[in-house]
């Protein structure tokens, strides 16, 4: 696993071991970032199921100003820290050890331009958290959700419009755009 392009191009990232770990392949990652290439510069991104941090790190490498990494696993966040040090991006990162649901409930008013969702497939958590994500997005913000091909993104998500789906064998990346207004 490596950073594909940008400031940290070619740097190999540490990954986690175990059956629950499923790093995003370079092919899928390249497709994801091609879909949002013009949305990255100066963006604030959320890597909600951080794992090794590769999606947030790729975003920083390509011009995002800051990435927030959320994972409930101490081992995952240790790996994220090591990868941030290796890429020299520690000063552009914030880490939270908590579950996605707890992070969303905290609701401290943080806003993001892009949110990456790559939860363990067995959790089937996307339907639970997608309705709560619009409050974290700036107007026009996007969510990139990686999921299994046999999973369908619910159309019941208020203020989220399915913009495009990209298919990579058994993996799908759904791009959703926030269509709501700025909160006052």
Q: What CATH number is associated with residue 114?
A: 3.40.50.150
The count of domains in the chain is 1
Q: Give the count of alpha carbons within 13 A of 164, CB side only.
A: 9
Q: Is residue 101 part of a domain?
A: yes
Q: Give the count of alpha carbons within 13 A of 86, CB side only.
A: 20
Mean pLDDT of 115-119: 92
Q: Give the domain range for residue 66.
A: 26-178
Q: Is residue 21 part of a domain?
A: no
pLDDT digits (tens, 9 = 90+) for 75-115: 999 999 999 999 999 999 999 999 999 998 886 778 999 99
pTM of the entire structure? 0.91
Q: Is residue 184 part of a domain?
A: no
Closest CA to 95 of 65, 117, 73, 69: 69
Provide the pLDDT for residue 19: 43
pLDDT digits (tens, 9 = 90+) for 37-64: 999 999 999 999 999 999 999 999 999 9
Backbone angles phi, psi at 94, to 5 degrees: -130, 135
Q: Is residue 158 part of a domain?
A: yes
The number of residues in the chain equals 184
Provide the pLDDT for residue 123: 62
pLDDT digits (tens, 9 = 90+) for 143-170: 999 988 888 877 666 688 888 999 988 8
Q: Which residues contact 121 (CB under 8 A, 6 or more apart)?
A: 22, 147, 148, 151
CA distances to 9, 119, 158 from 38, rounded to whole Å, are 18, 25, 25
């Amino acid at each position: 696993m490596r950073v594909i392009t940008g400031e940290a191009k070619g740097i190999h990232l540490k990954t986690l071991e175990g059956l629950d770990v499923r790093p995003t392949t370079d092919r899928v990652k390249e497709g994801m970032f091609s879909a949002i290439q013009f949305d990255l510069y100066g963006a604030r991104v959320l890597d909600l199921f951080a794992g090794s941090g590769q999606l947030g790190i790729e975003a920083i490498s390509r011009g995002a100003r800051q990435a927030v990494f959320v994972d409930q696993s101490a081992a995952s966040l240790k790996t994220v820290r090591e990868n941030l040090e290796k890429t020299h991006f520690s000063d552009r990162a914030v880490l939270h050890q908590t579950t996605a649901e707890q992070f969303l409930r905290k609701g401290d008013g943080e806003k993001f331009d892009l949110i990456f969702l790559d939860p363990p497939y067995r959790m089937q958590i996307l339907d639970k958290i997608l309705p709560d994500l619009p409050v974290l997005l700036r107007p026009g913000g996007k969510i990139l959700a990686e999921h299994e091909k046999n999973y369908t993104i619910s159309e019941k998500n208020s203020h989220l419009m399915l913009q495009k789906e990209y298919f990579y064998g058994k993996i799908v990346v759904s791009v959703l755009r926030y269509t709501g207004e700025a909160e006052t």
